A and B are shown apart, each in its own frame.
Chain A
Amino acid sequence: MSETIWLIPLIPLLSSVTLMLFGSRFKALQIGALGVGSVGIAALLTLLLAAEFMQNQQVIQLSLWTWMEVAGFAPGISFYFDGLTLVMMSVITGVGFLIHLFSTEFMEKDPSYARYFAYLNMFVAAMLVLVMADNLLLLYLGWEGVGVCSYLLVGFWYQHNANGHAARKAFIVTRIGDTAMALGLLLLFTELGTLDIQTMVGEANQTWQVGDTVPLIACLLLVCGAVGKSAQLPLHTWLPDAMAGPTPVSALIHAATMVTAGVYLIARTHGLFLLAPTAMTVVAVIGITTSLMAAFTALMQTDIKRILAYSTISQIGYMFLALGVGAWSAGIFHLMTHAFFKALLFLGSGAIIHCLHHEHNIFKMGGLRTKMPVTFWSFMIGSAALAALPMTSGFFSKDQILLQAYQLPDIGPGLWMAGLLGALLTAIYSFRLVFVVFFGKANTEPDKDTGWRMAVPLSVLCFLAMVGGWFMIPVTEVFPAGDGSHPAHWVEYVSISVPIFGVLIAYLIFYSGRLKIDGLANSALGKSLGQFWLSGWGIDWLYDRLFVRPYYGLANLLKGEPVDAIYGFIVALNQTFNHWLSVAQSGRMRWYLASMVAGLILVITLAANLSVGVL
């Protein structure tokens, strides 16, 4: 198996290429079989690989060929496989397979069925390359590859300008981070002479001391890339808009896999970050700030997918917090459980949207509990895990993060308290969603219930979201061990009880109606605050004024090519001379003759005078 891991990304890639070339000639069933099957095979191979890895704990390094070799710069098309890679690959192929299966029903009626699966398979391939890459340049290939696939899928229904706009926004905003990351790569290569991750980290430890400036800058540049891809402050604005894509796409790309690539990047290069404690603090602060900001925003949204999108931003914020406080494995653990329950929630919302004539507004839903039981239970379990209610998968991972954050000296308790506030908000907004959508009176009648191709992935993900917390992820070899100490018991009790409290609040407000918030919401302060949160803290507005409009303005201003004015001036100068001279060309013979005679006289006079002088 270890010699053939390259097959895992290759199979979805080939399937994608086949669908692109011949998709229009295939029947829907063939397209579905190819699209789902290829990812299924990849998942199976990953399973085999996992079984092998569990037995021998063997790290695999496999080099296919040298990508390019110039003056000592020789990144290879080569793969590196360890426990961390395994976790990521399992999530990508496993959850990916379920989502592909779900898509066959969701996208059934779409005329561009083949194109959809071609993009989706391409995405899986690129994502696999990203996590399997042995060096940062190959990782960057996967990184940009998933970016393009995300662009293509967000703008999948390209006939609507809004979707195209969202897709471009997603690509360009992440590209800002990517470019900073590319600069980080340049810096790392220039300083260390390699981009091979393992060698590089070893080299870095030789070259630099903890707290040096160069690793700090390099790490911050990498963080910029991670922030863009993982939709963290200040580059998070693309993710809510990216919900314009088909819902399974949101589940796969914008919840389970691609957006967590930033977390993976930092975890993968944690050896560098350990040399730059300041960078780690920055990561933690970005994480917790984003988490709170997004949670507040999610409270006010009415579009079911936007709620989930902000919730994703918020949860990735937790992962960043984990990375920032050095709780590497807790961060990756949360990545995995989040992939389960957030994919579940997204697919659940996809099922609702599918059965409710593409309705997105939660206040136009309601009472779906009895009509869509599978979806209801999916949402119950998914929200419970998202809110980190005890015994769900989200509980285990989030608990670990909060406890480890608490133990950080100085800012630890502060981070913990902020994290708790976030957890409270998470519980409130997730159960607000459940109560509004599934209880109360029905506002829109579903025209169908989910078919088996939707129900099966939902059920499997329900199971994973419940029990995922008991999985032991094999990353102990990858990350440095923590000191194993635990904070005081009361800290743990508080951490457990806060989400329950949050659910209670949501229940009182949105189900029983005992807690009246209308007065608060309608007060002047409440209104403006609500508006502020609804708009995502006005960040989009700010960016629009700060960057987008000035850039459009600049492009408009320069459109007419000001440099040409210089050459235009030369032309004008010539034309002026031409004008002056052409005045003499009057077309009147008498005038010519007169000037000729005058000239002649002048010349003769001059010649005569001169010859007199000479003689």
Chain B
Amino acid sequence: MDGLNIPLNHILLVSSLLFAIGMLGLMIRRNIIFILMSLEVMLNAAALAFVAAGAHWGQPDGQIVFMLILTVAAAEVAVGLGLVLQVQKRFKTLDMDHANRMQG
């Protein structure tokens, strides 16, 4: 078990990098597919942090939450792709800035 011992800090660094990449993607992409992908990246970043932390403390909680996140992500993708289809149908584009009807 102790063959591959990666320090927790490294994993957390990767996780935050992933999270930042996801967030950046979310902020700069307009295409809804890429937005969804960025969301996925962010979720996985968080999940990675959980797994790493669980391993570090020797507790199963991290893995349980990881499974929860997987499920949520799957559900989110289902809903998100449904929305993507609707958006494509309504607006004939995948540019999210066209779907800003809810502005104040």
Residues of A within 8 A of B (CB): 581-590, 593-594, 597
Contacts and interface: CB of A to CB of B under 8 A. Distances in A.
B28 interface: yes
**Interface size range of chain B in the complex:** 10 to 19
B96 interface: yes
Contacts of B96: 588-590
Nearest to A585: B104
B26 A586 contact: no
Contact of B23 (A581, A584, A588, A593): A593
A185 B101 CA distance: 71
B29 to A, nearest CB: 8
Interface string B38-73: 000000000000000000000000000000000000
B16 to A, nearest CB: 13
B14 to A, nearest CB: 20
Contact of B27 (A581, A582, A586, A597): A597
A160 B23 CA distance: 82
B103 interface: yes
B100 interface: yes
B27 A590 contact: yes
A542 B1 CA distance: 114
B97 interface: yes
17 contacts: A582-B104, A585-B102, A585-B104, A586-B100, A587-B99, A587-B100, A587-B103, A587-B104, A588-B97, A588-B103, A589-B35, A589-B96, A590-B96, A590-B97, A594-B27, A597-B23, A597-B27
A593 B103 CA distance: 15
A interface majority secondary structure: helix
Contacts of A583: 104
Given A587-B99, A589-B35, 19 more contacts: A582-B103, A583-B104, A586-B100, A586-B104, A587-B102, A587-B103, A587-B104, A588-B96, A588-B97, A589-B26, A590-B26, A590-B29, A590-B96, A590-B97, A593-B23, A593-B27, A594-B27, A597-B23, A597-B27
A33 B46 CA distance: 106
A151 to B, nearest CB: 59
Contacts of A582: 103-104
Contacts of A593: 23, 26-27
A569 B35 CA distance: 44
A100 B101 CA distance: 80
Contacts of A581: 104
A320 B39 CA distance: 101
Nearest to B97: A588
A545 B30 CA distance: 72
Nearest to B99: A587
Interface in B4-37: 23, 26-30, 35
A588 B103 CA distance: 8
